[in-house]
């Protein structure tokens, strides 16, 4: 019983490593297929527009020569297959073409405005995780074993209502109270730290409510498990029981939901940026849609779509790495 | 869902709020434009852009039109567009989702993959992009939102229809050659209609919010038409001057959307009702503290221990138990006899809802109930070890075994993480886990059941336990492993001269290890005896039956195994007499009327029976 189990273990580790690699390969190929589908869909978008998008963008008064020149500049006069190949090649080189309306490079717009948007969404994401996970776990600890029914009811009702209110309404309410009534924060614009507070709060409050509810339910499930009784049986302080023994076991579902939240946060920026006059991609997107600047819309669609796909990919890879049983690897 | 269940759900407080809200929204959508269109479009330049006043509760817009009337009139457009978007979304999504169930194979997998991909994208962004293709305006917004929510309908109908697809009757329908469209309309859809209907209601709320969002961004309804989102857009520019102008539409959007969401939730609750029984309801007073004097050198002395739960269950009644230093005491009984709860009460590991009362509870010479929380933790943490029934679930799947074993010493002996690990490896070795050093670095799922139970025992040995409570430690294990674990348990108790309580439903296991045995039935101790008497002949008919039900090498194979007819009373039954009487061949009227006390038969033998099996009879048996 000395050497045999070890070699057996080595074999098991070998398998473990290889299922992990296989999983990574499967997941990566799914990401690539998804990205190709995203690019294809956005490519055809401009061709689905009824009528002539260039004419629509430049207006009916634009001279025919200008429309033809813009069409040529965009390559819209080439065969479809050539356009498609050019489109993919250009995007892979970071070239998103030129704006239908202003003629400037869309890549420049993205470079100038993208960081603002992703800073907003990124900080909001961290705030959501940083508040929702401890809050949900605390609620689970307080309401376990059917204790404190009133607190439980109050929490689920409040969180349920907050989760249902969309970010733009939260934003209006926050602006009303904190900017108009008590002047704590600026109404709009990007400036110092204080200008970030309201936009991030508008983005984060709904997801915090939704995620903390899920964490609480998940926490209650974990706290009922036998291994928590074992931990209590070891007479560990409550802090260690919750943080070391319960928290890691709530991580898998929490991360899964958090991955879904990224999409919602990115979408939320579009509305929130418009309310707070934030110089990001969301404001660009809305004005581009209004001006029928299809190439800019297309580029922002690619960027947002890719961010969502990459976030889901990152979550899945993280789940495969942290879950010791790696149940996800077989999926 | 039965119509009575819906009616019942709608009569609940939330149900009433939801139905009244929904009714109000529908009535407003129909009536408001008929009554107030004139007021809503009356231009009054003299009173333009005003705040709230008695004439205009929510103020006026840039043309002096009354905002309250406009909010009310806008109900129709806002709700109609939302219903339209949800309906189109359902019409696109549901058939697509049914494709995998109807066609299966490669087409099905492809559609499933596309649905999964589409669901990953945020609905609002999809809506904006589709709307930008179709053209800015109400049309574009409705179609955009419909396309954006279609994947959710598709996903739902896919999961639902695949569960129907696997069913027998669909296979039968396919076998007799029913055409696919007919399969969809006659067999699949009716069976998934209910959850789809609920989802549709909820998604009207979502569509309402999304439409308001698009209109708010200026991408939805265009002037001169107006919906709530459009009005919010116009109001927001004036939020500094007249905030109520923005808050009116904002409140309308919230109420409108919440009403549909709430109504859907009520329907969903009604559909999913039943089975959600909460028996742990109500409060009980905190566990009674009646700290008696703890003298004598018993490791454990319990008198009159009663455990009850809210709802009237009393699974343990007036149990007394003593364990001397170094003694191994067995508790036997069928499942539900209260033996595990008794042990967990001693270990202070009962669920919080349990209510414990005892005339005396002494552990290592002090009453744990009289100690402060930290004193109790220290006392129990250093002197008491617990081995649990199911080693598969007793270890934390997310932590390495070495850490789980070692942390006892980190906490209770204040040694470093590293030293604790070393000690854990040493203890794992002492419970005969091979290559303990490597094993300590593994996760529980890499351990077999027997090894996990060894690890749990090692965990208990980190301190120097004076009492080991083993709750059915071998029940979940293979027969061959059972013997090893029992031998290990005996070795560790003997070598550390600690006492032990071994709980089992198996008389054979208990008689192998224990000196003294306590027999429990329906939450009571019915007999207490030494192992020799247990083998030679117990006094209580229940114990006799329990021993007889154990097959031995001498049992005749052609004879059926002895079993006890009838079933034990539940913890809810309050029986005046002996709980075993209904199943007992010797029971008399007295047994049914009066609970027998524990009668001393010899210094090491007590039994609670009016008609004990006596020595002469034993000889006859």
For every residue of B250-307, DSSP letters joined together read: HHHHHHHHHHHHHHHHHHHHHHH-SS----S-S--PPPPP------SS-SEEEEEEEE
Residue of chain A with shortest Cα separation from B250: A169
Residue B615 — pLDDT band, cuts 50, 70, 90?
A: low
What angle do the packed helices A149-164 and A194-223 form, to 10 degrees? 130
Chain A positions touching B209 (Cβ under 8 A) are: 166
**Which residues 275-304 of A have a C-beta within 8 angstroms of B?**
275, 285-286, 288-290, 292, 294, 297, 301, 304
**A207 touching B (Cβ < 8 Å):** no
pLDDT at A247 over 60: yes
Other CB atoms within 10 Å distance of the CB of residue B616: 8
Average pLDDT value over all residues in chain B = 82
pLDDT of amino acid A324: 58
Closest by CA position to B90, among listed B193, B224, B231: B193
Cβ neighbours of residue B604 closer than 8 Å, sequence gap 6 or more: B516, B529, B530, B533
pLDDT in tens, B440-468: 988 888 888 888 888 988 888 888 888 99
CB contact under 8 A, A234 and B377: no
The CA distance from B510 to B527, in Å, is: 14
**What does the block give as tokens for B269?**
């609750």
CB contact under 8 A, A263 and B120: yes
| Fold of domain B3-273 | MetI-like fold (1.10.3720)
CB contact under 8 A, B121 and A263: yes
Cβ pair B360, B289 in contact under 8 A: no
The CA distance from A282 to A273, in Å, is: 6
Cβ neighbours of residue B54 closer than 8 Å, sequence gap 6 or more: none
pLDDT of amino acid B554: 61
Residue B340 Cα, gap to closest chain A Cα (Å) = 14
Please return the burial class of B424, using the count of CB atoms within 10 Å of its CB with bins 0-12, 13-18 and 19+. Answer: buried
The CA distance from A154 to A183, in Å, is: 30
The CA distance from A53 to A71, in Å, is: 9
Please provide the DSSP assignment of B46-103 as one string: GGTT----SSSTT-B-TT--BHHHHHHHHHHHHHHHHHHHHHHHHHHHHHHHHHHHHH
Q: Mean pLDDT throughout A267-272?
A: 90
**A103 touching B (Cβ < 8 Å):** no
Partner residue facing B239 (CB), from A12, A175, A234: A175
Closest by CA position to B330, among listed B482, B478, B528: B528
pLDDT in tens, B568-593: 788 887 778 888 888 888 888 888 88
Residue B437 Cα, gap to closest chain A Cα (Å) = 11
CB contact under 8 A, A225 and B393: yes
Partner residue facing B411 (CB), from A48, A145, A240: A240
Partner residue facing A5 (CB), from B254, B261, B435: B435
Q: Which of A27, A186, A227, A240 to mutate to test the interface with B (most CBs of B within 10 A)?
A: A227
CB contact under 8 A, A264 and B122: yes
Closest by CA position to B150, among listed B94, B111, B206, B198: B94
CB contact under 8 A, B398 and A264: no
- Return the exposure string of A228-262: e unless at least 16 CB atoms fall within 10 Å of the residue's CB, then b: bbbbbbbbbeeeebbebbbbbbbbbbbbebbbbbb
**What does the block give as tokens for A40?**
């294809």
What angle do the packed helices B123-134 and B138-165 form, to 10 degrees? 130
Chain A positions touching B463 (Cβ under 8 A) are: none
Q: How far is CA B512 from CA A261, B125, B490, B496, B506, in A?
A: 58, 70, 10, 19, 10
pLDDT in tens, B277-286: 232 333 333 4
Residue A280 — pLDDT band, cuts 50, 70, 90?
A: very high
Q: Where are the beta strands (DSSP E) in B294-445?
A: 300-309, 313-323, 328-332, 355-357, 360-363, 384-387
**What does the block give as tokens for B376?**
């109790």
Chain B positions touching A164 (Cβ under 8 A) are: 205, 257-258, 261
pLDDT of amino acid B239: 76
Percent of chain B beyond pLDDT 70? 88
Chain A positions touching B377 (Cβ under 8 A) are: 235, 237
pLDDT of amino acid A6: 45
Looking at beta carbons, which pairs linking B182-190 to residues 24 or more positions away fall under 8 Å? Answer: B183/B102, B184/B95, B184/B98, B184/B102, B188/B98, B188/B101, B188/B102, B188/B161, B188/B164, B189/B94, B189/B98
- Return the exposure string of B549-584: e unless at least 16 CB atoms fall within 10 Å of the residue's CB, then b: eeeeeeeeeeeeeeebeeebbebeeeeebbbbbbbb
The CA distance from B218 to B60, in Å, is: 20
**A305 touching B (Cβ < 8 Å):** yes
Chain A positions touching B238 (Cβ under 8 A) are: none
The CA distance from A144 to B121, in Å, is: 35
Partner residue facing A6 (CB), from B281, B395, B438: B438
Partner residue facing A249 (CB), from B232, B246, B397: B397
What angle do the packed helices B67-103 and B105-120 form, to 10 degrees? 150
Q: Mean pLDDT throughout A281-287?
A: 92
CA B539 to chain centre: 43
**B181 touching A (Cβ < 8 Å):** no
pLDDT of amino acid B548: 81
Top pLDDT among B617 and B63 is at B63
Residue B142 — pLDDT band, cuts 50, 70, 90?
A: very high
pLDDT of amino acid B92: 93
Chain B positions touching A286 (Cβ under 8 A) are: 128, 217-219
CB contact under 8 A, A5 and B434: yes
Residue A95 Cα, gap to closest chain B Cα (Å) = 20
**A164 touching B (Cβ < 8 Å):** yes
**What does the block give as tokens for B10?**
């709608």
**What does the block give as tokens for B591?**
């047994």
**A251 touching B (Cβ < 8 Å):** yes
Cβ pair B143, B130 in contact under 8 A: yes
Chain A positions touching B280 (Cβ under 8 A) are: 145-146
**B239 touching A (Cβ < 8 Å):** yes
The count of CB pairs under 8 A between chains A and B is: 185
CB contact under 8 A, A289 and B120: no
Partners of B602 in the beta sheet? Answer: B605
pLDDT of amino acid B495: 86
Most confident of A8-12, A300-304, B230-234: A300-304
Q: What number does CATH give the domain B305-375+466-620?
A: 3.40.50.300
pLDDT of amino acid A325: 58
Closest by CA position to B569, among listed B579, B554, B581: B579
Residue of chain B with shortest Cα separation from A13: B446
Q: How is chain B split into domains, by residue range?
A: 3-273, 305-375+466-620, 395-465
Chain B positions touching A9 (Cβ under 8 A) are: 435, 438, 442, 446
pLDDT of amino acid B590: 87
Cβ neighbours of residue A15 closer than 8 Å, sequence gap 6 or more: none
- Return the exposure string of B149-185: e unless at least 16 CB atoms fall within 10 Å of the residue's CB, then b: bbbbbbbbbbbbbbebbeeeebeebeeeeeeeeebbe
**B380 touching A (Cβ < 8 Å):** yes
Chain B positions touching A26 (Cβ under 8 A) are: none
Residue B520 — pLDDT band, cuts 50, 70, 90?
A: very high
Q: Mean pLDDT throughout A171-196?
A: 82
Range of lowest pLDDT (B130-134, B181-185, B372-376): B181-185
Cis peptide leading into residue A40 (ω within 30°):
no
Other CB atoms within 10 Å distance of the CB of residue B241: 12
Cβ pair B509, B477 in contact under 8 A: no
pLDDT of amino acid A285: 92
Range of lowest pLDDT (A106-120, B18-32, B550-564): B550-564
The CA distance from B287 to B307, in Å, is: 9
Q: H/E element holding B469?
A: strand B467-471
Chain A positions touching B396 (Cβ under 8 A) are: 227, 230-231, 245, 248-249
- The dihedral through the CA atoms of B157, B158, B161, B163 has a sign that is negative
Closest by CA position to B1, among listed B197, B270, B243, B320: B270
**What does the block give as tokens for A68?**
């033809």
The CA distance from A106 to A117, in Å, is: 16
Partner residue facing A325 (CB), from B239, B349, B397: B397
Residue B110 Cα, gap to closest chain A Cα (Å) = 12
CB contact under 8 A, B396 and A166: no
CB contact under 8 A, B349 and A187: no
**B247 touching A (Cβ < 8 Å):** yes
Look up the ipTM and state it.
0.83
**B399 touching A (Cβ < 8 Å):** yes
Chain A positions touching B254 (Cβ under 8 A) are: 165, 169
**A88 touching B (Cβ < 8 Å):** no
Confirm whether B3-273 and B305-375+466-620 share one CATH topology: no
Residue B313 — pLDDT band, cuts 50, 70, 90?
A: confident
Partner residue facing B353 (CB), from A48, A146, A181: A146
pLDDT of amino acid B273: 42
Q: Mean pLDDT throughout B313-324?
A: 89
Cβ pair B329, B501 in contact under 8 A: yes
- The dihedral through the CA atoms of A27, A33, A39, A44 has a sign that is negative
**A321 touching B (Cβ < 8 Å):** no
At residue B162, the 3 state secondary structure works out as helix
* Sheet of B328-332, strands arranged across: B384-387, B467-471, B499-504, B328-332, B516-521, B524-530, B605-607, B599-602
Q: Mean pLDDT throughout B196-216?
A: 87
**Which residues 19-38 of A have a C-beta within 8 angstroms of B?**
34, 37
Q: Mean pLDDT throughout B112-123?
A: 84
Give alpha helix (H) positions in chain A: 4-48, 53-58, 64-74, 80-92, 106-143, 149-164, 167-174, 194-223, 226-233, 238-240, 247-275, 281-290, 294-322
Residue B219 Cα, gap to closest chain A Cα (Å) = 7
**Which residues 476-495 of B have a C-beta within 8 angstroms of A?**
none
pLDDT at B614 over 80: no
Q: Mean pLDDT throughout B118-139?
A: 87
Top pLDDT among B56 and A265 is at A265
**B281 touching A (Cβ < 8 Å):** yes
Residue A7 — pLDDT band, cuts 50, 70, 90?
A: very low
The CA distance from B533 to B618, in Å, is: 11
């Amino acid at each position: 019983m000395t050497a045999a189990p070890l070699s057996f273990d080595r074999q098991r580790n070998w398998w473990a490593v290889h299922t992990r690699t296989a999983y990574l390969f499967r997941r990566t190929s799914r990401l690539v297929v998804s990205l190709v589908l995203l690019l294809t869909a956005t490519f055809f978008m401009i061709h689905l527009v009824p009528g002539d998008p260039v004419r629509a963008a430049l207006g009916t008064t634009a001279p025919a020569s200008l429309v033809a020149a813009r069409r040529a500049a965009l390559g819209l006069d080439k065969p479809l297959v050539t356009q498609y190949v050019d489109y993919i090649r250009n995007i892979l080189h970071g070239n998103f073409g030129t704006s239908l309306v202003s003629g400037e490079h869309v890549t420049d717009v993205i470079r100038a405005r993208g960081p603002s948007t992703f800073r907003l969404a990124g900080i909001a994401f961290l705030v959501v995780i940083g508040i929702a996970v401890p809050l949900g776990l605390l609620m689970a600890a307080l309401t376990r074993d059917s204790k404190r029914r009133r607190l439980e009811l109050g929490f689920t009702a409040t969180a349920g209502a907050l989760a249902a209110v969309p970010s733009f309404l939260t934003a209006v309410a926050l602006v009303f109270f904190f900017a108009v009534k008590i002047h704590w924060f600026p109404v709009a614009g990007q400036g110092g730290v204080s200008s970030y507070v309201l936009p991030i709060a508008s983005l984060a409050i709904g997801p915090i409510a939704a995620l903390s509810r899920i964490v609480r339910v998940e926490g209650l499930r974990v706290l009922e498990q036998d291994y928590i009784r074992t931990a209590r049986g070891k007479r560990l302080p409550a802090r260690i029981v919750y943080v070391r023994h319960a928290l890691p076991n709530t991580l898998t579902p929490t991360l899964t939901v958090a991955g879904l939240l990224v999409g919602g946060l990115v979408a939320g920026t579009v509305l929130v940026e418009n309310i707070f006059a934030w110089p990001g991609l969301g404001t660009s997107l809305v004005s581009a849609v209004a001006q029928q600047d299809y190439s800019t819309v297309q580029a922002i669609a690619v960027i947002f779509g890719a961010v969502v796909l990459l976030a889901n990919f990152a979550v899945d890879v993280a789940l495969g790495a942290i879950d010791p049983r790696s149940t996800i690897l077989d999926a | 869902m039965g119509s009575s269940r819906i009616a019942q759900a709608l009569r609940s407080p939330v149900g009433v709020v939801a139905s009244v809200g929904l009714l109000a929204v529908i009535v407003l959508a129909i009536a408001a434009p008929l009554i107030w269109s004139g007021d809503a479009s009356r231009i009054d330049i003299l009173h333009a852009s005003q705040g709230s006043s008695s004439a205009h509760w929510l103020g006026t817009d840039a043309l002096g039109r009354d905002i309250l009337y406009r909010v009310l009139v806008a109900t129709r457009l806002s709700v109609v567009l939302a219903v339209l978007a949800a309906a189109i979304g359902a019409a696109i999504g549901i058939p697509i989702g049914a494709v995998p169930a109807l066609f299966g194979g490669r087409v099905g997998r492809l559609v499933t993959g596309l649905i999964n991909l589409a669901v990953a994208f945020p609905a609002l962004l999809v809506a904006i992009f589709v709307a930008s293709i179709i053209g800015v305006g109400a049309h574009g917004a409705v179609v955009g939102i419909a396309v954006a929510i279609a994947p959710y309908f598709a996903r739902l109908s896919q999961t639902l229809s695949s569960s129907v697809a696997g069913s027998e009757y669909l296979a039968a329908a396919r076998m007799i050659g029913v055409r696919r469209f007919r399969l969809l309309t006659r067999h699949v859809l009716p069976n998934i209609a209910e959850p789809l209907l609920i989802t549709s209601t909820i998604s009207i709320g979502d569509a309402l919010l999304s439409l308001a969002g698009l209109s708010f961004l200026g991408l939805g309804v265009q002037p001169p038409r107006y919906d709530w989102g459009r009005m919010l857009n116009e109001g927001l520019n004036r939020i500094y001057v007249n905030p109520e102008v923005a808050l009116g539409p904002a409140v309308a959007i919230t109420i409108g959307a919440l009403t549909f969401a709430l109504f859907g939730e009520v329907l969903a609750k009604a559909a999913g009702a039943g089975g959600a029984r909460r028996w742990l309801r109500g409060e009980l007073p905190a566990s009674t503290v009646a700290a008696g004097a703890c003298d004598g050198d018993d490791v454990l002395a319990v008198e009159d221990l009663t455990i009850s739960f809210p709802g009237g269950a009393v699974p343990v009644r007036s149990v007394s138990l003593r364990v001397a230093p170094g003694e191994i005491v067995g508790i036997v009984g069928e499942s539900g006899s209260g033996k595990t709860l008794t042990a967990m009460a001693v270990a202070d590991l009962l669920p919080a809802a349990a209510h414990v009362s005892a005339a005396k509870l002494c552990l290592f010479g002090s009453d744990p109930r009289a100690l402060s929380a930290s004193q109790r933790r220290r006392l129990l943490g250093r002197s008491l070890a617990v081995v649990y029934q199911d080693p598969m679930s007793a270890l934390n799947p997310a932590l390495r075994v070495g850490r789980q074993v070692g942390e006892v010493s980190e906490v209770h002996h204040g040694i470093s993480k590293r030293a604790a690990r070393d000690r854990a490896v040493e203890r794992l070795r002492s419970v005969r886990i091979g290559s303990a050093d490597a094993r300590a670095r593994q996760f529980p799922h890499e351990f077999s059941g027997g090894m996990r139970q060894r690890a749990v025992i090692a965990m208990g040995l980190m301190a120097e336990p004076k009492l080991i409570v083993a709750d059915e430690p071998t029940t979940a294990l293979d027969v061959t492993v059972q013997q090893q674990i029992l031998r290990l348990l005996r070795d560790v108790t003997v070598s550390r001269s600690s006492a032990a309580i071994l709980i089992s439903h198996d008389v054979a296991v208990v008689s192998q290890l224990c000196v003294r045995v306590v027999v429990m039935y329906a939450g009571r101790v019915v007999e207490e005896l030494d192992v020799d008497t247990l083998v030679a002949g117990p006094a209580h008919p229940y114990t006799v039956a329990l021993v007889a039900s154990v097959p031995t090498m001498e049992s005749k194979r052609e004879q059926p195994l002895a079993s006890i007819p009838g079933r034990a009373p539940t913890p809810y039954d309050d029986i005046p007499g002996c709980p075993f009487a209904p199943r007992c061949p010797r029971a008399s009227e007295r047994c049914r009327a009066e609970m027998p006390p524990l009668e001393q038969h010899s210094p090491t033998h007590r039994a609670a029976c009016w008609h004990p099996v006596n020595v002469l009879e034993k000889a006859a048996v």
